[in-house]
Amino acid sequence: MTGLPWWADAIAGLVLAVLALWALLAVGLLVVRRRTGRGSLRGAVRLLPDVLRLVRRLAADRALSRRVRALLVVLLGYLAMPFDVVPDVIPVLGWADDVVVVVLVLRAVVRSAGPDVVRRHWPGTDDGLAVLRLLVRW
């Protein structure tokens, strides 16, 4: 126990999860840039808000099944939890489980709803979508 109130632990866990997700997406963007010659670090900075907007848009899309929307809501709840499978105090590994959960949920969404739904809701650039496609592997 850190001695902080539960809500402070929840906020700290969410902030760390967002930072870990951003780092993974930045690495993915660099890999895509290296493979395709496209992409930039500025794009990596913009990618995390795009992924968060994507999750919000997908969760609000009434055309998607309840199961898919519920999965996205559970993802947001998991990221907000003050505890994880691997505690966030463990450098790199503590944040990696959050990133893995995000990628697995997005992969399940793509398999269930199809990549066209993700493309339709994607708010970012084509380079950002290429990174997401690389991570989710559709």
Check the CA dihedral 15-21-25-26 and report its sign.
Answer: positive
CA dist 34 and 65 (Å) reads 37
Whether 48 has a pLDDT exceeding 90, the answer reads no
The residue type at 28: G
pLDDT band at 44 (very low <50, low <70, confident <90, very high): very low
Whether 68 has a pLDDT exceeding 90, the answer reads yes
- Find, among 7, 19, 29, the residue nearest to 96 by Cα: 19
Convert the pLDDT of each residue in 85-104 to its tens digit. 666 666 656 666 677 777 88
The model carries a pTM of 0.65
